[in-house]
Amino acid sequence: VQLQASGGGLVQAGGSLRLSCAFSGRTFSDYAMGWFRQASGKEREFVATISKGGSTIYYADTVKGRFTISRDNAKNSVSLQMNSLKPEDTAAYYCAAGVITTIRGSLYSYWGQGTQVTVSS
């Protein structure tokens, strides 16, 4: 499985970004997809996850109401729409694929390379 994340960049506080993750190598609909982030000097943290068919979604409390995860099984991609961005959202964002829908990063089998999001105040 290969995961390619894109869409990061520099944005002012209050702005929006949309991250995308392209999946290849296996059947996309066999995998739950998650987004995680890691700020400089901090541990990786869960952001959002979506089940194989898209019916189950979980968000971290810190992003609930501001971020939206979605997937397109026909296009083998998952997206993270990030609105009302805050400086504390600054981090490298990673997409991940796993067989179960979970907030635990250790249970994801495949990881993308990360895309940097920087939110200026």
What mean pLDDT do residues 1-9 have?
97
Mean pLDDT over the full length of the chain = 98
pLDDT at 99: 97
pLDDT at 102: 97
Cα 103 to Cα 49, 50, 91, 106, 121: the distances in Å are 7, 10, 18, 9, 29
Measure CA of the first residue to CA of the last residue in the chain; give whole Å: 37
Backbone angles phi, psi at 88, to 5 degrees: -75, -5
Q: Which residue blocks in the chain are alpha helix, DSSP H?
A: none
What mean pLDDT do residues 24-36 have?
98
